[in-house]
Structure 1
């Protein structure tokens, strides 16, 4: 009888210890989750500030187009250039707003895998935003010059047609070359090059945040 009671006591003590260890592991995991997500949020701050800077960068383009509309341009080429400059400003602000919106939707209270999926979505939007904001500069400098000339009621296309035409031609060639290189670098035999390009486009903030979460995910697996 005493032996049975001792075994029961030992079993009860073991179960109690097991529950304590399980609780302790949960608390440690929760604390690690909090630290990791806090570091991830902190790592993303430069990215958020970068999007705000992108919005501020785009505002002068809209203001410049507004000045052109107020001057009542009459030359068709100048009007088209104004539309391009105005559209670029609006598109750049919209892209930055979309990225900021996605960053704001990230729920750091969810499981790590869900957070990673949300940040990967932000990464995809960030890359597209950067491409939409950067690639037009292959030719955007031409309509920008046209708008500046248009503010003085000068049709740059009529005054310097070679500059305008060659500028747009160079821009088109540049965009086509960039598109070709993008596809070339992502062929299976150049997967490593494509990954490096993606990493360079992603930015350090997102890479650091994703690395923090990946470390936490590996710990949870172990």
Structure 2
């Protein structure tokens, strides 16, 4: 075989190896991104299921205050529940939009940025808001249920509260809020805030991040 023929053969072999390497890289990337999509799909379903629950709470609040016009205490409870229901619709809807905005055909860095946005929303916005609201929302809910009992006999709960009830309600809100604040402080002092952030972001987000990191590592090592 002449030298020119050998060079041509090596060039053909190099091209085939490069094509095979590119194909292997693409197959690995596509497989990992499919895993990411599957990891996030149940999370998207969870968000979608939370929206009707939020709507139900919002409608409950509206129905309650609109049927207790003139009763300031009952109206306040109904409005608070309506606001909570509205937030319970908005927050999962926002998170669902973040999941659905991910384009798995885009570069890995862009997908990582989208998932980072989802993590930031869940950890820095959603979790703190619902941690605070969750400590107190049971109080108006309890009062609303109690007022329904009063409605049966035509009396207002607020006209028949026992002495000290207001103080008890305030204390019932302050104690869990203080407990949440103390827990965060202890975790900060222990250096466990990253652990907390991962728990709040959710296992699906963590696994998706791990899959994407594997793709980036594979591309660096085989690029």
Matches within 5 A, 1:1-222: 6-127=2-123, 128-151=125-148, 152=151, 154-156=156-158, 158-160=160-162, 162-186=164-188, 190-191=190-191, 193-222=192-221
Distance apart, 1:155 and its partner CA: 3.0
Distance apart, 1:47 and its partner CA: 0.8
Alpha-carbon separation, structure 2, partners of 1:160 and 1:6: 106
Q: How many residues align?
A: 215
Alpha-carbon separation, structure 1, partners of 2:159 and 2:169: 11
Please report the TM-score for the alignment, with normalisation by the length of structure 2: 0.85
Offset from partner CA, 1:4-61 (integer Å, 9 cap, x none): x833322222222112111111111111111111111111122112112322322231
SS at match of 2:106: coil
Alpha-carbon separation, structure 2, partners of 1:9 and 1:199: 59
SS at match of 1:99: helix
Distance 1:23 1:163, change over 3 A: farther
Alpha-carbon separation, structure 2, partners of 1:200 and 1:216: 23
Alpha carbons 2:77, 2:144 under 8 Å: kept = yes
Alpha carbons 1:32, 1:216 under 8 Å: kept = yes
Report the RMSD for the aligned CA atoms in angstroms: 2.2
In structure 1, list runs of 5 or more residues that go unmatched. none
Distance apart, 1:160 and its partner CA: 4.0
Distance 1:20 1:160, change over 3 A: farther
SS at match of 1:108: coil
Please report the TM-score for the alignment, with normalisation by the length of structure 1: 0.85
In structure 2, list runs of 5 or more residues that go unmatched. none
